[in-house]
Amino acid sequence: MTDTTLHAKAPTTAGSDESEGMSYLESLPRRLVTLYLPLFIILVVLLFPFYWMGLTSIKPDEQLIDMEKYNPFWVVHPTFKHISKLLFETQYPRWLWNTMYVAVGATTLSIFASVLAAYAIVRLRFKGADTVGVLIFFAYLVPPSILFIPLASVIQAYGLFDSPLSLILVYPTLLIPFSTWLLMGYFKTIPFELEECALIDGASRWQILVKIVVPLAVPGLISAFIFSFTLCWNEFIYALTFLQSTPNKTVPVAIVNEFVDGDIYKWGSLMAGALVGSLPLVILYAFFVEHYVSAMTGAVKE
Amino acid sequence: MSTIQTSLPRGVAISEPSAWVRLKTNRNVIALWFMLPAAAFLILFLAYPLGLGVWMSFTDEKIGRSGVFVGVENYEWLWDDSIFWLSVFNTLLYTIVASAIKFAIGLYLALLLNRHMPFKAMIRAIVLIPFIVPTVLSAIAFWWIYDSQFSIISWSLIKLGLITQNINFLGDTSWARASVIIANIWRGVPFVAITLLAGLQTVSPSLYEAATLDGATSWQRFRFITYPLLTPIIAVVMTFSVLFTFTDFQLIWALTRGGPVNATHLMATLSYQRGIISGRLGEGAAIATAMIPFLAAAIAISWFGMQRRKWQQGSDQ
């Protein structure tokens, strides 16, 4: 119980977060050297690639390659040429749409399957529930890098090669173990007295799940959804292996394969592509930081 | 009681539930239905391919041609293949160096973030951004940063007078290895830091206050309070980190595709190269299967870490 509530809202449970602790004992110069300076350096390093991505995508070509005349860390006459070229002269919108379609499809399927599985493991306590829980944890640890070759022949056999549907069917293997594990933690925190009441009132298991458990586990569902969506968007090796034709590709695969034409001026549109492809996730993340963090730490702590 | 009984119509006994009703309410049967969707996905697209992969590694299957059983021929072939051993070496080097540095910087960053400061929540949110952005897209940004002609790092170092000519980051074998490791560290540090931070937040500040009163130095406070309490979560986080680093594919593929002269080929990229691009599925599957013992070791360590954690929690509940 303590374990699951902890990860459900990790940032608020810790006493150290709200209280000042012993930090008042430190002098300002000391804090400056031991805290703010190293933190600032780390933050700059972590964020620099994004700055560079954004800057490059609005820099005119001549400034990109002339590093003597123009200071490369700044841009003089920003241009939207790269971004408009990306959006109107390439199939980028199509790739973005594919990625979105695959991510939403695979995530929805996975959450549906995970809710059912997690509920069964935690609350139905069927014979062998613990073993199934452990097996699902192991499934979480099987990486795509060792599965893509046999999966390619499975996908070929089902006739799904070069179809985004293949990704919608395959991605749940990455998402279900994680979401099930996460949701098991949330379901455990729901008092089972509620379910007992419902059972006495004649509710079926399905009704209990839909009308009691799921509404109470909404924060967990959001966490699972956000994290799964991010994983789908990020996935590369399956998409690279299964998708062949240009219009069917997802953003990460298309960026790597379609823009590499040896053109010295490719960098502007390449960076614009990376930036536009990252933005949806960053925006989503900005709205759901807490859920995202609890999903990440929850999966590890469980 | 009696009032209830009289209210029932006469002659209506509560009948034994029929076999169908009992089946319908049997929790094992219900659970079977509930587990079905997840089990179907995991068996069809995870367990079956896992077994199929091991089987394929014993065949000479190629793209467009089904294979026949050839025994351990693929493995014998790999055993004498210096590029395969180079990829094993690269994978181990990449995993060990990147994981160790990720752990060191991640723990340090977690300790920094755990301290009291203004805009704490916002800074924590920003730290995680490299982990949110798809690896390939940030790798593309690194590709540009590591460009042989227009690298901003080379430019800055030349302006500072530290070097005289551009560094060929991805063209020179040692630089290429260092570059991909740095990019991997950059991406992995936020994950390690934020998960360890979640562990740090469960450590009560009163322990530190007590230790300080007893005259402990800050190193002693870390060594005898933070580290022991954090050990179980460190075990789990680092197992995940090692696992994902070991099986990394996308970062390498986006940056170097295994080059220059195979210096950055990991087992996963070599497997893709041989299995999909050259079409020798059997050989690619053999390389992938060769990764399993390493993964099993990582999983065993993770399991050990979790058991220990449960034991620790049980003792203080």
Flag whether pLDDT at B199 surpasses 90.
no
Residues of A in contact with B203 (CB under 8 A): 16
pLDDT tens by residue, A42-75: 999 999 999 999 998 888 877 777 777 777 788 8
Classified as helix, coil or strand, A248 is helix
Flag whether pLDDT at B189 surpasses 70.
yes
Flag whether pLDDT at A16 surpasses 60.
no
Cα–chain-centroid distance for residue A97? 17
A278 and B138: CB-CB below 8 Å? yes
**Confidence band of B70 (pLDDT split at 50, 70, 90):** confident
Smallest Cβ–Cβ distance between A127 and the set B28, B186, B200 belongs to: B28
**Confidence band of A38 (pLDDT split at 50, 70, 90):** very high
Q: How confident is the model over A195-204, as a mean pLDDT? A: 87
Q: How confident is the model over B163-192, as a mean pLDDT? A: 91
Residues of A in contact with B202 (CB under 8 A): 6, 13-14
Q: Which residue has the tokens 């929805």?
A: A108
Q: Does the CA dihedral A188-A194-A196-A198 come out positive or negative?
A: negative
Q: How confident is the model over A162-173, as a mean pLDDT? A: 92
B41 and A50: CB-CB below 8 Å? no
Min distance B11 CA to chain A CA atoms (Å): 24
Helix and strand tally (H, E) in chain A? 20, 0
Q: Does the CA dihedral A176-A179-A181-A186 come out positive or negative?
A: negative
ipTM over 0.90: no
Prior bond of A49 cis (ω within 30°): no
Mutation site, B46, B56, B299, interface A, largest A CB count within 10 A: B46
Chain A residue with the nearest C-alpha to that of B40: A113
Smallest Cβ–Cβ distance between B209 and the set A22, A109, A150 belongs to: A22
Q: Does the CA dihedral B80-B81-B82-B88 come out positive or negative?
A: negative
Flag whether pLDDT at A27 surpasses 70.
yes
Prior bond of B260 cis (ω within 30°): yes
pLDDT tens by residue, B205-223: 888 889 989 988 888 988 8
Q: A-B interface: how many C-beta pairs under 8 angstroms?
A: 312
State the Cα–Cα distance between residues A76 and B92, nearest whole angstrom.
45
Min distance A66 CA to chain B CA atoms (Å): 9
**If we measure between CA atoms, which residue out of A82, A81, A63 comes closest to residue A73?**
A63
A176 and B41: CB-CB below 8 Å? yes
Task: Check residue B59 and report its DSSP letter.
Answer: B
State the Cα–Cα distance between residues B299 and B282, nearest whole angstrom.
26
State the Cα–Cα distance between residues A154 and A141, nearest whole angstrom.
21
State the Cα–Cα distance between residues A168 and A176, nearest whole angstrom.
12
> Which are the contacts of B122, defined by CB distance < 8 A and separation ≥ 6?
none
Residues of A in contact with B243 (CB under 8 A): 141, 143
Residues of A in contact with B317 (CB under 8 A): 2
Classified as helix, coil or strand, B65 is strand
Chain A residue with the nearest C-alpha to that of B280: A149
State the Cα–Cα distance between residues B60 and B51, nearest whole angstrom.
16
Smallest Cβ–Cβ distance between A285 and the set B123, B132, B186 belongs to: B132
Note whether A217 and A187 are within 8 A (CB). Answer: yes
B38 and A20: CB-CB below 8 Å? no
Q: How confident is the model over A146-165, as a mean pLDDT? A: 89
Predicted TM-score of the model (pTM): 0.86
Q: Which residue has the tokens 């959804």?
A: A225
Flag whether pLDDT at B20 surpasses 80.
no
Q: How confident is the model over B113-126, as a mean pLDDT? A: 87
Lowest-confidence segment of A25-29, A109-113, A221-225, B92-96 by average pLDDT: A25-29
Flag whether pLDDT at B67 surpasses 90.
no
State the Cα–Cα distance between residues B20 and B33, nearest whole angstrom.
15
pLDDT tens by residue, A68-111: 777 778 887 888 888 888 888 888 899 999 999 999 999 999 99
Mean pLDDT of chain B: 85
Min distance A9 CA to chain B CA atoms (Å): 10
Q: How confident is the model over A210-223, as a mean pLDDT? A: 89
